[in-house]
């Protein structure tokens, strides 16, 4: 676990009893100067410079001497045209023998998923399950394909969310720190962490590794306590913690002004009717205890969700917003509550992530 699992590769120099197949476009270029053969006997015709640029593993491999042509292959692949530097002076375009294939331990589907993002107009990778994503994520790590690793991780994210602990254990098994941190972040959104879903990957996880993950979750939850407050708060405390929203919202005043008029006042802190003295048009709830009562209740529900799941995912439920809006009885607040609450949720998610970024996590 302390060092990455190496990729198996070698030049083909033995007799193969299986026929090779050509990979689909764009990996069937007859002018390519390198052939990579997968474990299921599919040949990828690619350019050496691209492999060297994409992967330090391939770059170092090309410095080792290897035979100039494949030997004893049952179905050798021969390029259909002579490359410009083939030395063919006859002008008749005679075919040139292809270079010796480089055999790797990955499947053709895995290699195609890894290489396709390096070609123009790539389609985003997709995975049907975490089982489907595992070999691709592992191969990208072993080959040090750092540029596409984040893209692959995002493609696998929906499946990581289904069982973050499984993804975390898988990442630890192979020493994949970035993937482990992503899985740990998603573990924050698990509703019942004390009863984790079972998986084969957990066999390799130590008690110490699991403890680190649990401690990380608790420390992330603690980082939100001064924001959301404890459970079962009194009315005075509830007003105090909902009022603390104003302590971190000014950090985003510049971005708020891009989206709202510069003189905007968050309606739950300063209802326009109350400010203008139109007491008849504004229920008493808008000014009671300094913060609108409907917002205090809304902030309390946000706190309940974040205590159960210390994650931005916990506040994305549309029902949370609907419940708040249904409680607004002031016409002036009602005009702006929807757009302001949406913006508040965006800023709150950013504030949560900012706090979590300061929580240390020892992975490996």
pLDDT tens per residue across span 328-350: 888 888 888 999 999 889 989 99
Q: Which residues of 334-364 are buried (b: 16+ CB within 10 A; e: fewer)?
A: eebbeebbebbbebbbebbeebbeebebebe
User: What's the distance, Cα to Cα, between the start and end of the chain in Å?
Assistant: 8
Select the more confidently predicted residue: 239 or 192: 192
Assess contact for 108 and 23: CB atoms under 8 A.
yes
Q: If DSSP states are collapsed to H, E and C, what string results for 27-90? A: CECCCCCEEEECCCCEEEEECHHHHHHHCHHHHHHCCCCCCCCCCCCCCCCECCCCCCCCCCCC
Mean pLDDT of 305-324: 94
pLDDT of residue 243: 56
Indicate if the pLDDT at residue 72 is higher than 60. no
239-267 tens-digit pLDDT: 565 556 666 665 444 444 454 555 567 88
Assess contact for 246 and 348: CB atoms under 8 A.
no
Cα 246 versus chain centre, distance: 31
Please tell me the distance from the alpha carbon of residue 192 to that of residue 309, in angstroms, as a whole number. Answer: 9
Select the more confidently predicted residue: 150 or 89: 150
Assess contact for 27 and 33: CB atoms under 8 A.
no
Going by pLDDT thresholds of 50, 70 and 90, the confidence category of residue 313 is: very high
Please tell me the distance from the alpha carbon of residue 239 to that of residue 179, in angstroms, as a whole number. Answer: 40
Estimate the share of the chain in helix, then strand, then coil, as percent rounded to the nearest 5. Answer: 50, 5, 40
CB atoms within 10 A of CB 124: 10
267-289 tens-digit pLDDT: 887 775 554 444 444 555 555 54
Indicate if the pLDDT at residue 95 is higher than 60. no
Least-confidence region, from 31-40, 77-86, 100-109, 185-194: 77-86
Going by pLDDT thresholds of 50, 70 and 90, the confidence category of residue 90 is: very low
Indicate if the pLDDT at residue 14 is higher than 80. no
Mean pLDDT of 186-200: 89
Highest mean pLDDT among 16-25, 117-126, 232-241, 275-284 belongs to 117-126
pLDDT of residue 94: 41
Q: Where are the alpha helices (DSSP H) in 120-163?
A: 130-142, 149-162
Half-sphere exposure of 78 (CA within 13 A, CB side): 11
Indicate if the pLDDT at residue 307 is higher than 50. yes
Sequence-separated (6 or more) residues with CB below 8 Å from residue 165: 183, 187, 190, 196, 197, 199, 202, 213
CB atoms within 10 A of CB 31: 12
Going by pLDDT thresholds of 50, 70 and 90, the confidence category of residue 19 is: confident
Q: Strand 34-37 to strand 102-104: parallel, antiparallel, or no bridges (unpaired)?
A: parallel
Closest of 237, 245, 239 to residue 285, by C-alpha: 239
Indicate if the pLDDT at residue 26 is higher than 70. yes
Please tell me the distance from the alpha carbon of residue 266 to that of residue 254, in angstroms, as a whole number. Answer: 14
pLDDT of residue 290: 62
Mean pLDDT of 198-203: 92
Characterise 175 by phi-psi region: left (phi > 0), alpha (psi -120 to 50), beta (else).
left
Closest of 110, 168, 109, 101 to residue 137, by C-alpha: 110
- Residue spans per domain, the chain: 9-105, 130-222, 228-356
């Amino acid at each position: 676990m302390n060092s990455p699992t190496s990729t198996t590769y070698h030049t083909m120099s033995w007799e193969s009893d299986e026929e090779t197949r050509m990979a689909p476009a764009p990996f069937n270029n007859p002018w390519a100067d390198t052939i990579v053969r997968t474990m299921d006997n599919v040949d990828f015709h690619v350019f050496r410079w691209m492999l060297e640029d994409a992967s330090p593993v391939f770059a170092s491999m090309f410095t080792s001497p290897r035979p100039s042509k494949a030997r004893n292959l049952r179905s050798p692949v021969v390029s259909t045209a002579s490359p410009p530097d083939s030395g063919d002076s006859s002008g008749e375009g005679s075919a040139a023998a292809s270079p010796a294939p480089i055999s790797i331990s990955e499947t053709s589907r895995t290699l195609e998923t890894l290489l396709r993002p390096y070609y123009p107009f790539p389609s985003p990778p997709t995975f049907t399950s975490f089982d489907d994503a595992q070999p691709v994520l592992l191969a990208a790590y072993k080959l040090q394909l750092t540029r596409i690793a984040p893209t692959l991780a995002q493609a696998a994210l929906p499946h990581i969310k289904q069982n973050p602990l499984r993804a975390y254990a898988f990442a630890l098994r192979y020493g994949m720190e970035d993937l482990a941190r992503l899985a740990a972040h998603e573990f924050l959104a698990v509703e019942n962490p004390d009863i984790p879903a079972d998986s084969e990957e957990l066999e390799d996880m130590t008690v110490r590794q699991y403890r680190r993950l649990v401690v990380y979750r608790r420390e992330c939850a603690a980082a939100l306590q001064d924001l959301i407050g404890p459970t079962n708060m009194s009315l005075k405390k509830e007003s105090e913690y909902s009022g603390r929203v104003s302590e971190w919202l000014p950090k985003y005043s510049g971005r708020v002004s891009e989206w709202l008029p510069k003189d905007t006042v968050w309606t739950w802190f300063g209802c326009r009717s109350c400010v203008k003295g139109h007491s008849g048009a504004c229920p008493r709830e808008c000014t009671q205890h300094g913060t609108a009562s409907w917002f205090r209740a809304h902030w309390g529900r946000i706190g309940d969700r974040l205590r159960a799941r210390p994650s931005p995912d916990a506040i994305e439920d549309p029902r949370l917003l609907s419940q708040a809006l249904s409680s607004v009885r002031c016409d002036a607040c009602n005009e702006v509550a929807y757009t302001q609450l949406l913006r508040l949720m965006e800023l709150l998610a950013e504030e949560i992530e900012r706090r979590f970024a300061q929580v240390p996590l020892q992975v490996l």
